[in-house]
Amino acid sequence: MLPRGPGRRWKPASISIEHGTFLDDETIRLFKTKGAYLVPTEIAPVAALAQARGGALPPATIVKAEAAAAAMAASHRRAYAAGVKVAFGTDTGVSKHGDNATEFTLMVKNGLTPTQAIAAATVGAADLLGRDDIGTLTPGKTADIIAVATSPLNDVAQLEHVTFVMHRGVVAKPAIGGLR
C-alpha cells in the first residue's frame, strides 16, 4: 500500500491499458473479464496526425498516423459499446500542454456520453488509481472542482473553457465577476 497523506493509505490500483489503439474482440473480452480499465488517450494519435499533416513529421508518417487514428477510433467505439471501464488520461508529450480537455470531445465523438466521459475523469480515474479520497463530491474527500459557463452535459467541449477552479477547498481561479 502506498501512502496518500498523513495517516492515510490507498488500495492497490486496478489494471489498465493505455491507448488501446488496436483492440480486437478477444482483447475487449479480456478487459471485461479482468475488470481492466482502458485509458484511451485519444488525443495522442489525433495530435500525431495533425503534426504529420502540418509538416512537423516526415511526409511518410501521414499514412501511418491516419491508419493509427482510424484504428483507435474504431477500437474505442467497440470497447465503449461493450461496456469496458474507462479512465481519463492524456499524452501531453505529443499534444500541446493545456489541450488535454479536448480528450472529452474525442471520447464523446467515439461513443461515450458526456456523463460517461466526465465519470471517466472523476470516478473512473480515482478508482483506477486506487484513490478513495477523490473522484466524487463527498464530505471528507479532497475538494478539487472546476466550473464552466454552461452545462458540459449539453456540450462537453465546455470543459475546454474552465471558468472556476477550487483545489483542496481553496479557490485557485475565481469565476468571472468574482463569484465564488
Q: Residue 131 has which C-alpha cell?
A: 484513490
> Where do the domains of the chain lie, and which CATH numbers do they carry?
2-135 (3.20.20.140), 143-180 (2.30.40.10)
State how far the Cα of 32 lies from the Cα of 54, in Å rounded to an integer. 38
pTM (2 decimals)?
0.87
* 3-state SS, residue 82: helix
Q: Residue 84 has which C-alpha cell?
A: 469496458
State how far the Cα of 134 lies from the Cα of 58, in Å rounded to an integer. 42
- Per residue in 111-151, pLDDT tens? 999 999 999 999 999 999 999 999 999 998 988 899 999 99
Name beta bridge partners: 17: 38
- Per residue in 147-177, pLDDT tens? 999 999 999 999 999 999 999 889 999 987 6
E strand or H helix at 140? none
- What is the pLDDT confidence band of residue 2, given thresholds at 50, 70 and 90? very low
Q: Residue 120 has which C-alpha cell?
A: 471517466
Q: Residue 160 has which C-alpha cell?
A: 475546454
Higher pLDDT, 145 or 94: 145
**Averaged confidence pLDDT in the chain:** 89
- Burial of residue 156 (CB within 10 Å: 0-12, 13-18, 19+) is buried
Picking from 104, 179, 171, 116, the residue whose alpha carbon sits closest to that of residue 144 is 171
% of the chain residues with pLDDT over 90: 69
